[in-house]
Amino acid sequence: MSEFSVPIRQYTTKKLIGTPENETIQKACQKMVEFRIGSLVVYNEKVVGFFTKGDIIERVVAKGLSYVEPVSKIMTRDLITADIDTPVYRVLELMQQHQIRHMLITEEGRITGLFSLKDLVDPEKQLIETAISSE
C-alpha cells in the first residue's frame, strides 16, 4: 500500500488554531508568531475564512493595508477543501492545480482539519539539514 494512496486522514492535523473574523490583522499575526504557524482559520460559529503568511505579504504589506483592519478584509472566503477520506495523491493533485500549500480538510461537509505540505516534507528536510551540518 503506497503512502500516497491512503486517506488524507492519516496526515491531517485535527486541532486548528483560529481567530475571530473581527480580529485585527496585527493581533492575528501576533498569534501566528506566538504559535509559530504559517496559517490561521477564521471563525464565526464555523470556519468562514483562511489566510496564510503569504497572503499577509501579498494582501497587507505589499498593498500598504492598515494592520488594524479586521482579518475578514484579507481572508480567503472561497475555501478550497478536500474530504478527509480523499487519497493523499488526489489532495496533492488538487493542491498543485490551485497552487496552494495548505488544504482545509472536511468531514461531513464541516471543516475539521488541515493538511500542510510542510508535514510531508519536513522529515526529509530535517535529514538533509542534519547531514550537511554534522561535525
Partner 1 sequence: MRIAHISDSHITPGAEFQKEVFYQIVREINSEPFDLVVHTGDITDTGLREAYEYSQKMIEPIKKPMIIIPGNHDSRNVGYELFEEYLGDLNGVYKGEDYILIYVDSSISDRNEGRVGSSKFEWLKSQLVKYSSKKLKIVAVHHHLVPIPKAGTERNVLFNAGDLMDLFQRYDVDLVLSGHRHYPNVVSVDGMVISNAGCMSCRKVRAGDVCSYNQIEVTPEDITVTIKRLQSSREYKSPRLKSEIFISEGKKLARIVQIAGTFFSDHKIFERRKYENAVKKINSLSPDLVMHCGDIVEKGIPHNYDLAHKYLEAIEVPTVYTPGPRDINYIGYELFPRLTGGWDQGFETPLFRVHGVNSSQYDSDVGAVGRFGLRNLENVIKEQDQEMSIVFLHHNVVPLPHIREKGLLEDAGDVLKSLCDLKVDLVLTGHSSYPYATKVDKTIISNTNAVSCQYVRSLYGNSFNVIDIYEKLINISEINSLWGSKRILGIWRRNSR
**C-beta of 58 vs 131, nearer to partner 1:** 131
Among 27, 37, 48, 76, binds partner 1 (CB under 8 A): 37
Minimum CB separation of residue 64 from partner 1 in Å reads 28
Binding mask 89-108 for partner 1 (x = CB under 8 A): ------------------x-
Cα dist. 60→7, 27, 51, 69, 87 in Å? 35, 13, 11, 10, 35
Cα dist. 88→82, 93, 107, 112 in Å? 10, 9, 15, 17
Site residues for partner 1, 2-31, by CB under 8 A, read 5-7, 9-11, 13-20, 31
**C-beta of 78 vs 124, nearer to partner 1:** 124
- Size of residue set near partner 1 by CB under 8 A: 37
CB 75 within 8 A of CB 50: yes
**Distance from C-alpha of 70 to C-alpha of 73, rounded to nearest angstrom:** 6
If one asks whether residue 122 binds partner 1 (CB under 8 A), the answer comes out as yes
Phi-psi region of 18 (alpha: psi -120 to 50; beta: other; left: phi over 0): beta
Q: Do β-strands 81-83 and 102-107 pair in parallel, antiparallel, or remain unpaired?
A: parallel
Q: Do β-strands 47-52 and 81-83 pair in parallel, antiparallel, or remain unpaired?
A: unpaired
If one asks whether residue 45 binds partner 1 (CB under 8 A), the answer comes out as no
Judged by the rule CB under 8 A, the positions of this chain that interact with partner 1 are 1, 5-7, 9-11, 13-20, 31, 34-37, 41, 43, 47, 84-85, 107, 112-113, 122-124, 126-127, 129-130, 133, 135
